[in-house]
Chains A and B, each alone.
Chain A
């Protein structure tokens, strides 16, 4: 698998949120603002980087029968470390994201990468995969957080952009808004993809003619 494929798979073609629809719990919980989404994505990426690297390093050593408990231990250790680091050096954000940082441990996307990728590839590719998947996850959380912040509070990254008298639109602030926004984002992405496919197939038809 080429480095380029790994990168684009994680970032876009196989995006955890937009394509696989995994990790919906942090998605609903923290994406009330773009900044929350960004930091949640970064925290997840840090865990993913640690777990992918270690799982890849020990992949020849862990017998297949006990690989799941071993991976869970590794992931849980990294989640706890990220939790402590954020508490120490990103204290304000830690208070905001609070409950959701420990919950990274049950984000099935991380277990999925350990099982489907890191356990079958070298450390370098595993790290690249973590950066790509984590980056795609961060992008998705930030996009959704941005849409909800913009429509719900008329602001982006805490800065009012739709005028200071923009009313709070509760539907986008509350959890249902996450589902609805995600639905529209997915629809938009599908339209984009279909258009591109149509263009590619006409181009190919042109070539063969």
Chain B
């Protein structure tokens, strides 16, 4: 049987744990909706930067596909007559210098890159973070297709600059966008059909 002061320890720890859990539950409930909204807003801003001017809400019209067993979200940009102008999705470069780099890329229905933006990274400030700070570098992806560019950094015989002191980061981003384009080219018919059907349902 426990001694009297051992019971006191148990009571103290249980009380602390219960109160802490209750506080966390309250905080979670309070912040869940604002966090979702903040993430939505961040995505909205990123989408506005990669997609051409459009009349719809790409997040509302989002369709999902399965890619290598994982869900993939496609955000369509449409003109006011419902015509598909471009679509955006997120690519993850797993081989960044420090952890994965997330990029949002947009292509038009024929597979021409519209724009690319990095949405999340932990690359070295001053070196690898050129992918965010150097606008000219990231803007160089616009207008590129699978066929009109050599998809590698210059050091590897490609068309894209690396940065002084940082090759790994740009290499990872170029590779991710290249893979995104190859996926789009391979499944283009299916993706476009999917975006078409959804639009058709909305019309009814």
Q: Does A81 contact B (CB under 8 A)?
A: yes
Cβ–Cβ contact B16 & A88, under 8 A? no
Cβ–Cβ contact A62 & B16, under 8 A? yes
Q: Which of A158-201 contact B (CB under 8 A)?
A: 168, 170, 173-174
* Bound Cα distance from A84 to B20, whole angstroms: 15
Cβ–Cβ contact A174 & B126, under 8 A? yes
Q: Does A63 contact B (CB under 8 A)?
A: yes
Max chain B C-beta neighbours (<10 A), residue from A88, A95, A153 = A88
Q: Does A80 contact B (CB under 8 A)?
A: yes
Cβ–Cβ contact B31 & A84, under 8 A? yes
A61 — which chain B residues lie within 8 A by C-beta?
12, 15
Cβ–Cβ contact A66 & B9, under 8 A? yes
Q: In the complex, how many residue pairs between chain A and chain B have their CB atoms under 8 Å apart?
A: 72
Cβ–Cβ contact A62 & B12, under 8 A? yes
Q: Does B5 contact A (CB under 8 A)?
A: yes
Q: Does B154 contact A (CB under 8 A)?
A: no
Question: SS class of chain B's interface: helix, strand, loop or mixed?
Answer: helix
Cβ–Cβ contact A170 & B165, under 8 A? yes
* Bound Cα distance from A77 to B28, whole angstroms: 11
Cβ proximity bits A66-96 to B, threshold 8 Å, 1 near / 0 not: 1001100110110011001101110110010
Cβ–Cβ contact A73 & B16, under 8 A? yes
Closest-CB distance, B162 to chain A (whole angstroms): 16
Q: Does B42 contact A (CB under 8 A)?
A: yes
Cβ proximity bits B55-67 to A, threshold 8 Å, 1 near / 0 not: 0000000000000
B126 — which chain A residues lie within 8 A by C-beta?
152-153, 168, 170, 173-174
Given A74-B20, A170-B126, CB of A84 within 8 Å of CB of B13 = no
Q: Which 8 A-B pairs have the closest CB atoms?
A: A88-B34, A173-B126, A91-B38, A77-B20, A88-B31, A84-B31, A81-B27, A66-B9
19 A–B pairs (Cβ distance < 8 Å), ordered by A: A62-B12, A63-B8, A63-B12, A66-B13, A70-B13, A73-B13, A73-B17, A77-B20, A80-B27, A84-B31, A84-B35, A87-B35, A87-B38, A91-B41, A91-B42, A99-B122, A152-B126, A173-B127, A174-B124
